[in-house]
Amino acid sequence: MFITELEQIVATQSSEDLVTIALYWFDLPQFYKQVKWILKEPTRVIIAWTYTMPEINESAGVVFKSFDRVDCEPFWKPQRKLLDNKYMSIDFPFEPVDRDDNTGPFDDYFMFIRLYSAYQTAKDKSSELLTNNVMEKFKFAWNEDG
């Protein structure tokens, strides 16, 4: 993206305090160059977020891992690898800050899964990954360990 496009579409130079981003969708060197240009110095803040594999309990983890690595696998884009290792393999030219993880309620779990790019790609190809059978496995596993 050229500077004129950046100014028209996103922001002008040194005009923003904060940028939030799901990094795995972008050409990182190009993005870093642009975000450094947009953010105000010296307090540049970038929130680079990602999804991680939810950890509910051991039984739900087994069901989820099968769903994620078998059912969804053909629909994942290559960028998915960045999520799997929580961005640890990328060059991040900013000072990192960690936060606590948490897992929400059962219904939110499926809202999360329905946001998967693999789920959306499958749906676009008329494939429903969250079949009744899969949902029942999740429900049983969710309650099994606690």
Contacts of residue 93, Cβ cutoff 8 Å, sequence gap at least 6: 32, 36
pTM of the prediction?
0.61
H helices of 11-131, in order, are: 28-38, 58-66, 80-84, 106-115, 117-124
- Tell me the per-residue pLDDT of 87-134, one tens digit each, with 9 for 90 and over: 888 888 888 777 666 667 888 888 888 988 899 999 999 999 999 999
Domain boundaries, given as residue ranges, for the chain: 1-49, 51-146
Q: How many CB atoms are located within 10 Å of the residue 138 CB?
A: 21
Helix axes 106-115, 132-144, angle to 10 degrees: 140
Kindly report, residue by residue over 49-84, the tens digit of the pLDDT.
887 777 788 898 899 889 988 999 999 888 888 888
